[in-house]
Amino acid sequence: MPFAPVLHAEWLKIRTLRALYGALAALFAVTTAFSAIAATGSTSDPGFDPLFTAFLGIGPGQIAALSFGALAVSSEFAGGGLRLAFTAVPQRGRWYAAKLTAVAVPAFLVGLVTGAASLVVARAGLGPAADGLTAGQQLRGVTGCGLYLALMALLAAGLTALLRSAVGALGILVPLLLVVSFVLGTSAGGLPEYLPDRAGQVVLHARPEGPLGPWSGLAVTALWTAAVAAAGGRRVWRRDA
């Protein structure tokens, strides 16, 4: 079967699951709300970064992106859905690629809208403190927000395919991104800078510092995602439905 109809079928599945709409709505609402709240804080800190402040909501908001990716894949494991999918599309690699595409595109588009909304509300709260941001920095921040959230959704989708469990995938990713990365801080010889969240969020800084630049940081996150997605694809290829 050609790729286009397989992708269309996977897109229809995404559209019929209300929980996925809820995850995307939560992604927008949580990220925007927390960015607006962050913008009301103090701007007198010497290390204050107005661009990163505008996107601080991406921290809690990424949980919704992870949930979207995990639920999109885990829904196939209920009620024999995966067996039916493999019957209709015997080429498992093609089915898996279509599933990941159906996850990535809406996550990226909602991420872009979320990034733009977060920047608007944060700039309103920051006032003159945000006047130094250039158009290029703001465009990079919005685009980076969309790409980062799409990569997080794909990371969760790949891990869910590997573990065959959304709960298991989220049980690993949420602590890793929200707890482990924070606890490690700048210790361990700079290795935390290469964790998927820390590396990917460099693109949201006005003037990044450290070993990674905006796009090289996103590239590191993309490598994490590609590795996990490949492992998930291997599990899909080898295991019975």
pLDDT band at 187 (very low <50, low <70, confident <90, very high): low
Average confidence (pLDDT) over 59-74: 95
Mean pLDDT of the chain: 89
Per-residue model confidence (pLDDT) at position 89: 76
Question: Which pLDDT score, from 0 to 100, does residue 240 have?
Answer: 59
* Over residues 177-190, mean pLDDT: 70
126-183: pLDDT as tens digits: 988 888 899 999 999 999 999 999 999 999 999 999 999 999 999 999 998 888 777 7
Q: Is the pLDDT at 186 greater than 90, yes or no?
A: no
CB 82 within 8 A of CB 76: yes
Cβ–Cβ contacts within 10 Å for residue 194, how many? 16
pLDDT score at 191: 78
* 70: pLDDT strictly greater than 60: yes
Helices 92-126 and 58-74, axial angle in degrees (round to 10): 160
> Comparing 45 with 37, which gets the higher pLDDT?
37
Measure the N-to-C terminal CA separation of the chain; round to a whole number of Å: 19
At 8, the pLDDT band (50, 70, 90 cuts) reads confident
d(CA 194, CA 17): 34
Rounded distance between C-alpha atoms, residue 142 and residue 110, angstroms: 11
pLDDT band at 185 (very low <50, low <70, confident <90, very high): low
**Mean pLDDT of all residues in 95-104:** 94
pLDDT at 160: 96
Res 47: pLDDT: 75
pLDDT at site 233: 92
**CA-to-CA distance for 42 and 22, rounded, in angstroms?**
33
pLDDT surpasses 80 at 16:
yes
| Confidence band of 199 (pLDDT split at 50, 70, 90) | very high
Lowest mean pLDDT among 3-7, 107-111, 216-220: 3-7
- CB atoms inside a 10 Å sphere around CB 33: 15
DSSP conformation letters of 80-114 = THHHHHHHH---HHHHHHHHHHHHHHHHHHHHHHH
Greatest Cα pair distance in the chain: 61
